[in-house]
């Protein structure tokens, strides 16, 4: 496909905007519910952390920059506060410390790569960002297979609990997929297609899609299962109450005893 700077910039800008605002629905959802149950703190931390490597790669390669790190880190801080039962001060300091270190290290790495032009190391950064993002999504949903174990209620709740995607905003997933899609399309109009960046964006689209499909399939099934359980409980209760009502009542007659 011939290079087209206008198409590249328009599609890339749309992708950047979507990836900048993608975590906002999740942050709002967690704040309103005062809970992050079902949302993996590791998922949000790894996504924020992956921005260090992806940010360096796209800046040096002159690709549209996905600005999601700050909000992903904020969602991670919410997980510490709501889910981890840390103090508000601890969560806030964790967020500020992470962002300060992140900004300083990333700025230094960008200047270092522009000075050295170490292409192999830069490629490694791009690949590493894709791996971290993928691990975050896989790691965050892997606990669904433990949901049926007797110990699952005592374990941390992740994205999928009792085989149902909970705690994570589907709008967040949809916007995230859209950001990845437009970002991939923008690469097609660059003079040279960037396979590493494309692999990162495609990994996000595919893994987000898995979670969305799981929600569409498993949530209705879980609702039916819960309805059956409630119906069964009510039937059992009614049987128990009915049996108690039918039990014959015994009376005690006191017979006087003559001396």
* pLDDT for the residue 61: 85
Least confident of 161-175, 186-200, 242-256: 242-256
Q: Which residue has the higher pLDDT, 259 or 67?
A: 67
At 145 the pLDDT is 41
More confident residue, 76 or 67: 76
Joined tokens for residue 123 = 């490629």
Averaged pLDDT for residues 211-234 = 71
Instruction: Answer yes or no: is pLDDT of 119 > 70.
Output: yes
How many Å apart are CA 222 and CA 217, to the nearest integer? Answer: 9
pLDDT band of 198, cuts 50, 70, 90: confident
Residue 49 confidence (pLDDT) above 60? yes
What pLDDT score does 40 carry? 79
Bridge partners (DSSP) listed for residue 161? 164
Percentage with pLDDT > 70 across the chain:
74
- Confidence at residue 158, expressed as pLDDT on a 0 to 100 scale: 39
Q: Given this model, what pLDDT does residue 258 score?
A: 54
Q: What are phi and psi of 205, to 5 degrees?
A: -60, -45
SS3 string of the chain? CCCCHHHHHHHHHHHHHHHHHCCHHHHHHHHHHCCCCCCCHHHHHHHHHHHHHHHHHHHHCCCCCCCCHHHHHHHHHHHHHHHCCCCHHHHHHHHHHHHHHHHHHHHHHHHHHHHHCCHHHHHHHHHHHHHHHHHHHHHHHHHHHHCCCCCHHHCCCCCEECCEECCCCHHHHHHHHHHHHHHHHHHCCCCCCCHHHHHHHHHHHHHHHHHHHHHHHHHHHHHHHHHHHHHHHHHHHHHHHHHHHHCCCCCCCCCCCCC
Q: What is the mean pLDDT of residues 241-258?
A: 51
Q: Token pair for residue 110?
A: 């960008």
CA distance 79 to 136: 15
Provide the percentage of residues in the chain whose pLDDT is more than 90: 16
Among the ranges given (22-31, 109-118, 171-180, 240-249), the one the predictor scored with the smallest mean pLDDT:
240-249
User: What is the band of 155 on the pLDDT scale with cuts at 50, 70, 90?
Assistant: very low
Please determine, for residue 217, whether its predicted confidence score (pLDDT) is greater than 60: yes
């Amino acid at each position: 496909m011939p290079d087209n700077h206008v198409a590249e910039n328009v599609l890339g800008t749309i992708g950047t905007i979507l990836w900048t605002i993608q975590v906002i629905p999740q942050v709002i959802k967690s704040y309103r519910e005062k809970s992050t149950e079902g949302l993996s703190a590791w998922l949000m931390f790894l996504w924020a952390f992956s921005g260090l490597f992806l940010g360096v790669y796209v800046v040096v390669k002159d690709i549209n920059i996905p600005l999601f790190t700050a909000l992903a880190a904020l969602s991670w801080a919410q997980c510490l506060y709501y889910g981890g039962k840390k103090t508000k001060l601890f969560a806030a300091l964790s967020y500020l410390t992470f962002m300060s270190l992140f900004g300083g290290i990333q700025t230094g790495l960008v200047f270092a790569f522009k000075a050295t032009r170490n292409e192999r190391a830069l490629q490694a950064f791009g690949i590493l960002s894709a791996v971290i993002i993928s691990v975050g999504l896989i790691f965050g949903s892997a606990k669904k297979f433990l949901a049926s174990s007797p110990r699952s209620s005592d374990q941390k709740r992740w994205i999928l609990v009792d085989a149902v995607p909970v705690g994570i905003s589907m709008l967040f997933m949809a916007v995230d997929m859209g950001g990845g899609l437009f970002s991939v399309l923008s690469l097609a109009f660059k003079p040279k297609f960037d396979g590493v960046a494309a692999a990162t964006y495609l990994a996000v689209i595919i893994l987000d899609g898995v979670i969305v499909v799981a929600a569409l399939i498993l949530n209705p099934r879980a609702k039916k299962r819960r309805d059956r359980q409630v119906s069964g409980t009510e039937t059992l209760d009614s049987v128990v109450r009915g049996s108690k009502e039918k039990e014959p009542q015994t009376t005690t007659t006191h017979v006087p005893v003559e001396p």
